A and B are shown apart, each in its own frame.
Chain A
Amino acid sequence: MSTLGETIKKKLVDELQATHVQVTDLSSGCGQNIEVTIVSSQFEGKRLLQRHTLVNKVLKDEIAEIHAFSQKPLTPAEWAKRQPSA
């Protein structure tokens, strides 16, 4: 994982107590197109716009540096639902 990916992950864990962060590089090598899935209980009871705003605030500097940023903010319950049942 790139340095940027590590920075993003650390910030989300530190500031949003994210329990799962998945940074996917969708660029063709330049690292400028990133998609992040974030699982945090802090999203509970928050509407989508509020969740995005929360993440945007934490990652303000990182988002400003890259060309494309996409995010999926999920609560632990929503994340669990997406996992294939064993």
Chain B
Amino acid sequence: MFRSLNLVHNVTRRVALRAPLQARWLTDSAKNTIESSINNSDVCLFMKGTPDEPMCGFSRAAATILRVHGVNFRGVNVLEDQDLRTGIKEYSNWPTIPQVYIKGEFVGGCDILLKMHRDGDLEQLLVEKGVIEPLAEEGTESSNPAPSKE
């Protein structure tokens, strides 16, 4: 009995000590912002800075990859709102920024986006989710017919 009480006390204390460095909770207003952002746009990028002026190399890389695929995404600048900056980490249970949501579903951070892009998985996912059109296949819809293989 005493032992378990002590345990609870310790945990509370640890959280309290860390609180000034990084808030461990998600405010209602941050949650509302997050949910309306991810539900009202096909692709949502929580980032440091804006798509036109990223404030961090990782956020810049994520935005660039989405642009390469012609995705018209919503960029949410977490630097403008401290509650959002800590809240998105709690909400996604993901410790870093940027974070990408596609059709309301968490996809990952910069490392994952980059690897998916390299492996062709990102394009496939975007097409599957109806975010972008598949590239026209050779010889069918292309206006510049590919050289014949025969």
Interface residues of A (CB under 8 A from B): 48-49, 52-53, 56, 60, 63-64, 68-72
Contact = CB atoms under 8 A, between A and B. Distances in A.
Question: In terms of DSSP, what is the predominant structure of the interface of chain A?
Answer: helix
A52 B58 contact: no
B65 interface: no
Contact of B111 (A52, A63, A64): A52
A66 B76 CA distance: 22
B112 to A, nearest CB: 5
A69 B116 contact: no
B109 interface: yes
Interface string B8-23: 0000000000000110
A52 B112 contact: yes
Nearest to B108: A49
Contacts of A68: 56-58, 96
B99 to A, nearest CB: 12
Contacts of A48: 108, 112, 115-116
Given A48-B108, A53-B93, A53-B94, 10 more contacts: A48-B115, A52-B111, A56-B95, A63-B95, A64-B21, A64-B22, A64-B95, A68-B96, A70-B58, A70-B111
Contact of B110 (A49, A56, A70): A70
A69 B112 contact: no
Contacts of B112: 48-49, 52
B107 interface: yes
B94 A56 contact: yes
B87 to A, nearest CB: 14
Contact of B96 (A49, A63, A72): A63
Contacts of A56: 94-95
A65 B112 CA distance: 21
18 contacts: A48-B108, A48-B112, A49-B107, A49-B108, A49-B112, A52-B108, A52-B109, A52-B111, A52-B112, A63-B95, A64-B21, A64-B22, A68-B56, A68-B58, A68-B96, A70-B110, A70-B111, A71-B111
Given A48-B115, A52-B112, A69 B95 contact: yes
